[in-house]
Structure 1
Amino acid sequence: MNNQSTSQTPTHKTYFCNTSSVFYMKNVCDDSSTHVIYMSNRGLTSLPKGVFNGLISLRILDLDANKLTSLKPETFNSLSKLEYLFISNNSLTHLPHNIFKELISLTYLDVQSNKLTSLKPNTFNSSRKLKYLAIKKNNLTHLPQDIFKGLRSLNILELDSNKLISLENNTFNKLSHLVNLFISENNLSSLPQGIFDGLKSLTRLHLHSNKLTSLKLDTFNSLFNLKTLSINNNCLTYLLPGIFDRLESLDLLDLSSNKLTSLDPDIFSSLTELTHLYITNNNLTTLPQGIFNKLISLTNLGLDSNKLSSLKNKTFHGLFNLETLDISNNNLTSLPQGIFNQLISLISLQLYSNKLSSIENNTFYNLSYLTDLDISDNNLTFLPQGIFIGLESLDLLDLSSNELTSLDSDIFNSLSKLTHLYIKNNNLTSLEHEVFNELKSLTVLHLRSNKLTSLPSNIFNKLIHLEDLDIGNNNLTSLPQYIFSELKSLSQLHLDTNKLISLEINTFTRLNNLQILSISNNSLTSLAQGIFDEVESNIFNDLVNLKILDIHNNNLTDLPTDIFKKNQKLECLNLQSNNLNESKPEVFTNLTQLHLLNIEDNKFSLTDDDKKLILKNIKQRTYNESTTYNIFKNEPCFSSMTVY
């Protein structure tokens, strides 16, 4: 009887050797001593009895991304040497009593992304070698008392993205080797007394994205080795003085996206190892004098998106190692004298989206390492003489969206390393001819959306490295001859949305590297051509690398036959909304790389025969609406040319 019963007991061969079975794996069938089985994404809905029986040498079992809804209690009983088990991304709603009891060698268990609503108290009791346990992304609302009892080797515990509403006070007490604990993205409104007692090895604690309204004074008292603490995205309105006093090893503290209205002057005084502090997106209106003075190791400080209306002059004193400071999106109307004087290591300073109406001329005096300065979206009407002196390392300066009406001719003279300059959306009506002369490294210059009516002929002459120039949306009616002739590195030029009536034949002379040109939304009636340097020429002749040309919404009535003769690399041409009188297929003859041609809304309608003729002139193509040969599209260039 016993022999017969044994012979009928299914083993792994019953399933892994059956060629018609979803479990069939020849290597497992041939070798029962296999160490690894990967069965992810097989559509498994269940695991039959005995499916792993006999696989006594198995070390890794991957069942990820199947459709398992339940497991039999004895499923893994024969796998005493199994070390890694992946059951993630299934549809398990529960785990049977003692399901992992025989997995005495297990070190890595992943059951994340299932539909677990509860766990039995002794689910993991036998897993004494377990080092990694992932239960995140389930539907757990509670954890049983002592659920992790016995997991003395556990290093990483992931409980994030469940629906936990509370925790027992001794839930983690026995996890003396735990290094990382993730409880973020749950529904916790409070933490019980002593919840983290005993976690003497913990270095990372994530509590963000819960509903915490307050924290007890001794919450973190046992976490002497903690390096990272994220409490962001909760509902904290205050922090008890001394709450961080024992966290002497802390390196990163994130308090962002809470409802903090004030901070105790000594709240951070013990955090001498802290390098990153984020208090972004709270309701702070003021900061106590000296609140950051003890943070001698701090490199990154985020105070953006609060309601700060003023700062005390010594707010940042002592922060000699600070590299990044973000005070953007507050209500600051002014900056006190010397506020940044001790920030000798500062690299990035974000002041945008405040209400600054003026800045003292020595505000940035000691910031010799600063590379990124953003003062955009304020109320500045002028920049004082010498305001940027000392910023010898500055790479990016953003002055956009202020109310600047003029710039001193030498305002940028000390910024020899500047590569990006944005002065968009101001009230500039004119510019001094030498204002950019010392910007030897400039590659991007945006002057868009001002009120410029004219430009000096030599204003860009020294910008030999400039690649991107935007003068769109101004009031320019004309451009001086040769105004761009020294910009030999220029690849993008935006002149759209001005009041240009005509352009000289030499406007774009020497722009051999230009790839994008927009002169749309102007009042051009013709495109210049004629004899230039004793040679028959036209306005686009030097643009041999041009790929995008946008001339839509002008008043052009005619296109000269050879206007695009030298633009053989053109890929997109937008002539929409002009007053062109006739289709001239021969105009496009050399444009063999053209992918989009928009000639909608002119004074003629393209017939199919017109389109065929244009295509024939371009590449001897046969026109067919259903094929990719149809380049005629009522689209703007920039939305269709995704490579740009």
Structure 2
Amino acid sequence: MFMNVTNPKEFLNYLPLDTEALILFQTTDSDNITIEDDIKLPQLISFEIHGNNNPTRIYITDSMFKYMDNIKYLNIQSVSLDKLTLESNEPIPIIDTNVYKKENSYTFNELSPVLPKYLHKEHNNKNKKKKNRLVFLKSEDIDIVPYETYKKTKRRAKSNSLFLFNKDLLFLRISNCGLKDLSWDLFNGLDSLETLILDNNIIESIPDFSFYGARELKSLSLANNKIKHLQTTSLAGLLDLNYLNLKNNSITVLSETTFPPLPQLKVADLSNNPIEMVYPYTFEVLNATVELALGTNDTQLHLNQNAFIGLDSLQKLNLIGVNVTILERLFMIGLPSLVELKIKGYVQHIAYDAFAEIPNIRHLAISNCSIQSVSMDTFYGVYNLEHIDLSYNQLQELPPGLFDQQLSLKELILNNNQLIDLPDDIFKTLPNLKLMRLDMNSLHCTCRMKLWDISLMTKNTKEINKRICEWKHSKKGYTCTMKSTTAYIYNKKLEPICSSPTKLKGKTVSYALRKYLNCNSESYNNIYMKKEYKKLKLYKKVSEEDIKQNTTTIKINFSDYIYNNTTNTRYNTTITPNITLEIIESTPKSITNSILYVNSERSILLNNGTYISKSSLKNEISKMKRKHKAKNIDSKLEND
């Protein structure tokens, strides 16, 4: 129904008495409307009223809901509360609606007391600088009034309570109504209220025990307000609260005095608050919380060690605006059940075993953090990761063995970094990988990329709702439900592109391998192997004298490392895939007792640039043994 009629009161009186649901809209061409006790619908269960606030308004009064005894769902949006005269229904100090004006300064954890009108005395002016929660009157200031007068005064106060006649209210929403100040009596008596939404208002503070009158609350939303502080008494008494939404406010600090015990709280959303500091033990009283979101992109969030202690049940943590130079293990203490972690902000380096305190983590996203380096043992002790997102950072390389323990990993997101290459064995150590994003990097394309699985790099994820039907014997029919699943969709645009060498710039990796690099050519393989070998800068020729004087063991073990036998310098360079020549010093006993490890059937590239077969190398070593007797070698080694 659109309230563009000339006489709203007459219009409402024509509504059937058995109406159970009513929605009222104010159109832009209507005049200002004031609703008092005009709605007399005893069977009304659901009521919504939508104003427009521009240019005309709907005004509601204290008596508006007087004849709505059975209402359970109430939604008030974009209406004016200026004509409400909220007063206490108890003769004790309360928080008045005009307390928190600019001239009434107050500090954290302090509230200004206001007495009911019939208890105001001049002593308040004398003591107005005191900010105690309760004010005790001197005996000479107390008025003694007849009991009948007291009953009339209390009855008059009760008659002004907005929801006095709506004891069965389950759902209440007051949104975009200019609500600025809360008083504890506003919701007093709403013993059945389970959901309270006060979004899009201008609330600046939450006084003590503001929601104590609605202690059965399970969901409370105060999003998009101007709340600056939270203190233990603000949310006191909400022992059944499951959901708390405080996003888009002005909260700057969280400490151990912020939250009261909330033993049933499952979700706490404090995102888009300019939180600068989270002190230790802040969440120690939120033992049942499963999801938590903190921070904003516009403010640096400083975490203290032990900040998350007490969150034993937390499974999802979203941190925005984090500012730490090194992300290390101590920041994760207190999160043994964490499954999903999302971090955005500034993290320069991820340290060794940074996630060892969260061994059950499955989904990890640290994107847009300007990460420059990652320790090769960053994921040490973590074995259940299925999704890793390190996109939009400044990574130039990945250390070898970084993902060796991630046998369950399905998705690896590395796009928008500065990566030049990937470790050679990355695809072998990730047997369950379904998707890898490597686009928007500075890739140097070489034949080493033959080992890449390009098909994994041209996929994107998409959520698909799949209909699943099952036969139910009890219902003698099929029962169908919609289940959300993740599908991998082919997208050619996601294939990584070469940045160098110059002739390959702008070409996709698969195209460069197929058309330019000609990696299957035997001549190219020989050239490539020689170039790789020259990088070792080992120009000293391997001779019989070198073996006799400097070496007691010649060991071919096909690792990824090569040692210069004269300088003990370590070169992390591969001659051929899975084949390297390692010449090392060892404790000398006898060259006849030396062991020769040969684990490949391919040729070996010597320092002089020539190739020698495995069998030929064995024969050469045998000749050396026969030429130099073991006792002479032992004697020389002892003299050295």
- Structure-1-length-normalised TM-score: 0.58
1:194 corresponds to which residue?
Answer: 37
| 1:325 CA drift (Å) | 0.6
Pairs within 5 Å for 1:97-176: 159=1, 163-164=4-5, 166-169=7-10, 171-172=12-13, 175-176=16-17
Pairs within 5 Å for 1:41-120: none
Is 2:68 the counterpart of 1:223?
Answer: yes
Task: Letter of the 1:355 partner, please give it.
Answer: P
**1:576 to 1:258, Cα distance in 2 relative to 1, 3 A:** farther
Is 2:169 the counterpart of 1:250?
Answer: yes
Pairs within 5 Å for 1:355-394: 355-377=274-296, 379-394=299-314
Pairs within 5 Å for 1:113-512: 159=1, 163-164=4-5, 166-169=7-10, 171-172=12-13, 175-184=16-25, 186=27, 189-197=32-40, 199-211=41-53, 212-236=57-81, 239-241=84-86, 242-335=161-254, 337-377=256-296, 379-424=299-344, 426-512=345-431
Would you tell me which structure has more helix in proportion to its own residues? 2
CA contact (8 A) 2:435 2:457 kept: no
Q: Aligned partners of 2:268 and 2:427: how far apart in 1? A: 37
Pairs within 5 Å for 1:523-534: 523-527=442-446, 529=448
**1:317 to 1:402, Cα distance in 2 relative to 1, 3 A:** same
Q: Aligned partners of 1:336 and 1:207: how far apart in 2? A: 39
> Structure 1: which 5+ runs fail to align?
1-158, 531-536, 560-573, 589-644
**1:528 to 1:283, Cα distance in 2 relative to 1, 3 A:** farther
CA contact (8 A) 2:217 2:238 kept: yes
Q: Aligned partners of 1:462 and 1:175: how far apart in 2? A: 68
| 1:397 CA drift (Å) | 0.3
Deviations along 1:284-305, one digit per CA (max 9) or x if unpaired, are 1122222111211101111110
Question: May I ask how many residue pairs the two structures share in their alignment?
Answer: 407
SS at match of 1:171: helix
1:540 corresponds to which residue?
Answer: 453
SS at match of 1:411: helix
Would you tell me which structure has more strand in proportion to its own residues? 2
Q: Aligned partners of 1:423 and 1:171: how far apart in 2? A: 53
Task: Letter of the 1:180 partner, please give it.
Answer: A
1:554 corresponds to which residue?
Answer: 499
**1:528 to 1:482, Cα distance in 2 relative to 1, 3 A:** farther
Q: Aligned partners of 1:581 and 1:407: how far apart in 2? A: 38
SS at match of 1:401: strand
Q: Aligned partners of 2:396 and 2:517: how far apart in 1? A: 31
CA contact (8 A) 1:166 1:190 kept: no
Q: Aligned partners of 1:213 and 1:174: how far apart in 2? A: 19
**1:239 to 1:428, Cα distance in 2 relative to 1, 3 A:** farther
| 1:174 CA drift (Å) | 6.8
Q: Aligned partners of 2:430 and 2:503: how far apart in 1? A: 24
**1:229 to 1:355, Cα distance in 2 relative to 1, 3 A:** same
CA contact (8 A) 2:457 2:496 kept: no
Deviations along 1:596-640, one digit per CA (max 9) or x if unpaired, are xxxxxxxxxxxxxxxxxxxxxxxxxxxxxxxxxxxxxxxxxxxxx
Q: Aligned partners of 1:414 and 1:264: how far apart in 2? A: 36
SS at match of 1:375: strand
| 1:481 CA drift (Å) | 1.0
**1:543 to 1:178, Cα distance in 2 relative to 1, 3 A:** closer
Q: Aligned partners of 2:196 and 2:6: how far apart in 1? A: 28
Percent identity for Structure 1 against Structure 2:
25
| 1:382 CA drift (Å) | 2.7
CA contact (8 A) 1:184 1:209 kept: yes
2:435 to 507, 511, 516: 516
CA contact (8 A) 1:164 1:186 kept: no
SS at match of 1:410: helix
**1:239 to 1:360, Cα distance in 2 relative to 1, 3 A:** farther
1:40 corresponds to which residue?
Answer: none
SS at match of 1:206: strand
| 1:328 CA drift (Å) | 0.9
CA contact (8 A) 2:271 2:320 kept: no
Pick 1 or 2: higher relative contact order, CA cutoff 8 A, min separation 6.
Answer: 2
2:593 corresponds to which residue?
Answer: none
CA contact (8 A) 1:351 1:376 kept: yes
**1:239 to 1:404, Cα distance in 2 relative to 1, 3 A:** farther
Task: Letter of the 1:290 partner, please give it.
Answer: F
**1:179 to 1:581, Cα distance in 2 relative to 1, 3 A:** closer
Task: Letter of the 2:19 partner, please give it.
Answer: L
More moved, 377-386 vs 469-478: 377-386
Q: Aligned partners of 1:173 and 1:313: how far apart in 2? A: 49
| 1:518 CA drift (Å) | 1.8
CA contact (8 A) 2:196 2:219 kept: yes
Task: Letter of the 1:554 partner, please give it.
Answer: S
**1:542 to 1:436, Cα distance in 2 relative to 1, 3 A:** farther
SS at match of 2:220: strand
Q: Aligned partners of 1:239 and 1:307: how far apart in 2? A: 21
| 1:281 CA drift (Å) | 0.7
SS at match of 1:402: strand
Task: Letter of the 2:417 partner, please give it.
Answer: N
SS at match of 1:253: strand
Task: Letter of the 2:453 partner, please give it.
Answer: F
| 1:209 CA drift (Å) | 4.2
Q: Aligned partners of 1:375 and 1:482: how far apart in 2? A: 33
Q: Aligned partners of 2:443 and 2:218: how far apart in 1? A: 53
Deviations along 1:496-535, one digit per CA (max 9) or x if unpaired, are 22222222211333323323222222222124639xxxxx
Q: Aligned partners of 2:517 and 2:351: how far apart in 1? A: 45
Q: Aligned partners of 1:528 and 1:471: how far apart in 2? A: 25
| 1:557 CA drift (Å) | 6.2
Q: Aligned partners of 1:328 and 1:185: how far apart in 2? A: 29
| 1:394 CA drift (Å) | 1.0
